[in-house]
Structure 1
Amino acid sequence: MATYQELVETVLAENRETLLKVDPQQIEQLMDEICKAKTIQLYAMGRMQLSVRGFAMRLKHMGFDSYVVYDTTSPYLGKGDLLIVHCAVTNVELNIIKLAKEAGARIVLLTAHPENQHGQYADLAVRVPGQIFGGAEEVASIQPMSTLLEQALFLFTDIVTLKLIEKCNIDMAAMKASHTNLEGLPHKFA
């Protein structure tokens, strides 16, 4: 049985390999898509949605008009808007992608499989090659099912956030000021 420390090293190595395989040019294109969008809506299912919600929040903190698809506050999506889909392998995601495309929105996929049917509708498909099915193009993982891709997408979008802060000259103090004040944090921590 592996030790905790061995598992930590393996999981970190898997994420490192996955993240370093993302094409830097695609990252620049992703940031351009975000910067020119009127509104940004993000979608994923299951555990992938954790990274979607985290990224939507950070985009909002940076001043972008961002939403999670199907939340009650999500507005109409159309021309000039952007849909970002994490994973993009199920029929549910394909249907959302098709509907957004019909509405005139731009489509970006963050996925291990840009070659699939979903990718045919995308304006940009960023390959984040974490294991989901165990295919040859994926970084293999000791972790179950799509855990590596889930982790990598969360880390990837946090790294993109750092790059957007720099690219758009966003003040981190202003980001902090836009964070909710309803958490009840003591003043010294807020």
Structure 2
Amino acid sequence: MTIYKNLVNTVIQENLETLLAVDPKQIQNLISEIKQAKTIQLYGMGRMQLSVRGFAMRLKHMGFDSYVVYDTTTPCIGKGDLLIVHCAVTNAELNVIQLAKNAGAKIVLLTAHPENKHGQYADLCVRVPGQIFGTNTEIHSIQPMSTLLEQSLFLFTDIITLMLMKECNISLEKMKNKHTNLEGLPGDFA
């Protein structure tokens, strides 16, 4: 049990260090971009897509018109729209970024590496410095590969959700009313 507790403390500390390293100005700029967008499309691959889907859902619950890139109901993107990309280090992500930019959308990257080619296309880079490659510009992690960044982005977007709720005066009740009612929760079958 001691090993478990030590690992819990280490993982939480890694996430805390990563989240506290994010520039508050970049956070406020992200919130402004979200509030101004006609539609918001989110993109991430693999485990990064878990945070993408979670954030898209919360944005929808708050009343924003949000989609996950490549889902069957995702519309075309263009002027006035926003693409938010999680991680932004692969050629696949670069392709999506370039296509969205060519269509006239604004681009926001949530990434540990705003200095890469992807960042050249971005209107805003929010540096979330969780480990991807193990470089000296990232918060080091005992966890494998990009696990720390994946976790941190999930937490980061949940915190952005809370900030948007406060800034846009969105109540929990309003969000609950936009949540699916097809889950069959106890009491729904009266």
Give the letter aligned to residue 153 of structure 2: L
1:171 and 2:155 matched? no
Give the letter aligned to residue 99 of structure 1: L
Structure 2 counterpart SS, 1:42: strand
The residue aligned with 2:34 is: 34
Please show how residues 14-163 of structure 1 align to structure 2 within 5 Å. Answer: 14-163=14-163
Q: Between the two proteins, what is the percent identity of the paired residues?
A: 76
Report deviation, 1:187. Answer: 2.2
List gaps (5 residues or longer) in structure 2. Answer: none
Q: Distance in 2 between matches of 1:80 and 1:160?
A: 21
Q: Distance in 1 between matches of 2:156 and 2:39?
A: 21
What's the CA shift string for 1:99-145, capped at 9, x where partnerless? 00000000000000000000000000000000000011100000000
Using the size of structure 1 for normalisation, the TM-score is 0.97
The residue aligned with 1:11 is: 11
Give the letter aligned to residue 28 of structure 1: Q
Q: Distance in 2 between matches of 1:180 and 1:55?
A: 15
Using the size of structure 2 for normalisation, the TM-score is 0.97
Q: Distance in 2 between matches of 1:35 and 1:187?
A: 35
Q: Distance in 2 between matches of 1:2 and 1:66?
A: 43
Structure 2 counterpart SS, 1:3: helix
Report deviation, 1:2. Answer: 6.5
Q: CA RMSD in A?
A: 1.1
Q: Distance in 2 between matches of 1:167 and 1:34?
A: 12
Runs of 4+ in 1 over 2 A off after TM superposition: none
Q: Distance in 2 between matches of 1:25 and 1:8?
A: 30
Residues 169 and 120 from structure 1, CA distance in 2 versus in 1: closer, same or farther, beyond 3 angstroms? Answer: same
Q: Distance in 1 between matches of 2:142 and 2:81?
A: 38
Q: Distance in 2 between matches of 1:139 and 1:187?
A: 46
Q: Distance in 1 between matches of 2:60 and 2:115?
A: 30
Q: Distance in 2 between matches of 1:22 and 1:91?
A: 25
Structure 1 counterpart SS, 2:129: coil
Q: Distance in 2 between matches of 1:150 and 1:101?
A: 25
Give the letter aligned to residue 93 of structure 2: E
Q: Number of paired residues?
A: 188
